[in-house]
Structure 1
Amino acid sequence: MNWDIIQGKWDQIKGSVKEHWGDLTDDEVTQIAGNREKLSGKLQERYGWTKTEVDEKMNDFFRRHV
């Protein structure tokens, strides 16, 4: 997954991120700004997933949306 592309398109896809992971607040999604580590950390915190689970879920989501 090319995170440079995700960061560049963040404003376009952050609505989909918020819709998909509804436990993230608007402010958190804005602050993440396409940063892989920030998103991973927030998803682990909100959903209690392991890093491996988060990586799989993020890769699946962004393959479909980017």
Structure 2
Amino acid sequence: MSKQKLNLETPWPEVKEKIKEVNYDLTDADLMLEPGKEDELISRLAKKMHKTEEEVKGWIESVAHTKNRAS
């Protein structure tokens, strides 16, 4: 997998909380993001959510651009 960079308009801690509001199966460990390791986060979530990495990346970015709740 190529190195993926997330384009977030909202700080990660806020995005993480929005994600947890709509996906109760994801834990803090699942959503752990280390600087420069976005690809590891995306891969981990893709496996857990049974989605492609592209779908997960797009979903995270859409959550980051939403001001209120994750959709």
Question: 1:32 maps to what in 2?
Answer: 33
- Give the length in aligned residue pairs: 62
Task: List per-residue Cα deviations over 1:2-58 (Å, max 9, x = no partner).
Answer: 45x65xx333443222223322112332x3257522331122111111122112212
Identity across matched positions, percent: 23
The structure in which a higher percent of residues are helix is 1
Long gaps (5+) in structure 1: none
Question: 1:45 maps to what in 2?
Answer: 47
Long gaps (5+) in structure 2: 1-5
Query: Whole-Å Cα distance in 2 between the matches of residues 52 and 27 of structure 1?
Result: 21
Match of 1:60 among 36, 59, 62: 62
Structure showing greater relative contact order (alpha-carbon pairs closer than 8 Å, 6 or more residues apart): 2
* TM-score between both structures, scaled by the size of structure 2: 0.56
Give the 3 Å change call, closer, same or farther, for CA 2–50 of structure 1 in structure 2.
closer
* TM-score between both structures, scaled by the size of structure 1: 0.58
Q: Residues 10 and 33 of structure 1 are in contact (CA less than 8 Å); yes or no, is this contact kept in structure 2?
A: no
